[in-house]
Amino acid sequence: MRHLWIIFVGVALASMWGRCTYDILPEPEAPAFCDTAQATYQTTIKPIIDKNCALSGCHVAGTKAPGDFTSYTSLRPYLKDTEFKYYVLDLKDDPEVGMPPNWIDNPGPKDLTLEELDLISCWVSKDYPE
């Protein structure tokens, strides 16, 4: 009878042993930048465009550069055909055709900051909210 009791306790312990788990859960991921960024034209993008694009001699009415980027309405045609994305994001590292250009007569900054590029990228991915 004593052996039966030891066997019973051994089986009970063995069955409980298999039920214990040590799950290693991954660290919670921080939300992606675009999930939390308020990338809208009025709040974050217009100041970037005003500082880098809508300058005297560049993307304003009456200049040789294509488009008037002083308002969302006048910028919208360049967003719909992805021209803005192409020149600002896709060609950003090309000093001749990427925007902003690295020309001597460029009155504004020659490069966008990483934060500005991230905000514009989020804005593009959200389909250019106003």
Q: Is residue 55 part of a domain?
A: yes
% of residues, the chain, pLDDT over 90: 22
Pick from 28, 26, 13, 120: which is nearest to 75 by CA? Answer: 120
Range of the domain at 97: 40-125
DSSP class of residue 123 equals H
The answer to whether the beta carbons of residues 19 and 66 sit under 8 Å apart is no
Q: Is residue 28 part of a domain?
A: no
Q: Is residue 30 part of a domain?
A: no
User: How far is residue 121's CA from residue 88's CA, in Å, rounded to a whole number?
Assistant: 9
Q: Is residue 105 part of a domain?
A: yes
Comparing 108 with 20, the larger pLDDT belongs to 108
Report CA-CA distances (Å) from 6 to 9, 11, 15, 74.
5, 9, 14, 85
DSSP class of residue 10 equals H
Q: Is residue 33 part of a domain?
A: no
pLDDT of residue 18: 59
Q: Tens digit of pLDDT for each residue in 94-118? A: 888 888 877 777 667 778 899 999 9
Residue 50 has pLDDT above 80, yes or no: yes
User: What's the structural domain count of the chain?
Assistant: 1
Q: Which residues contact 33 (CB under 8 A, 6 or more apart)?
A: 118, 122
User: How far is residue 105's CA from residue 108's CA, in Å, rounded to a whole number?
Assistant: 9
Q: Is residue 4 part of a domain?
A: no
The answer to whether the beta carbons of residues 39 and 129 sit under 8 Å apart is yes
Q: Is residue 32 part of a domain?
A: no
Q: Is residue 61 part of a domain?
A: yes
Task: Compute the Cα dihedral for 119, 122, 47, 98 and give only its sign.
Answer: positive
Q: Tens digit of pLDDT for each residue in 72-97? A: 999 998 888 788 889 888 988 888 88
46: confidence class by pLDDT, cuts 50, 70, 90: very high
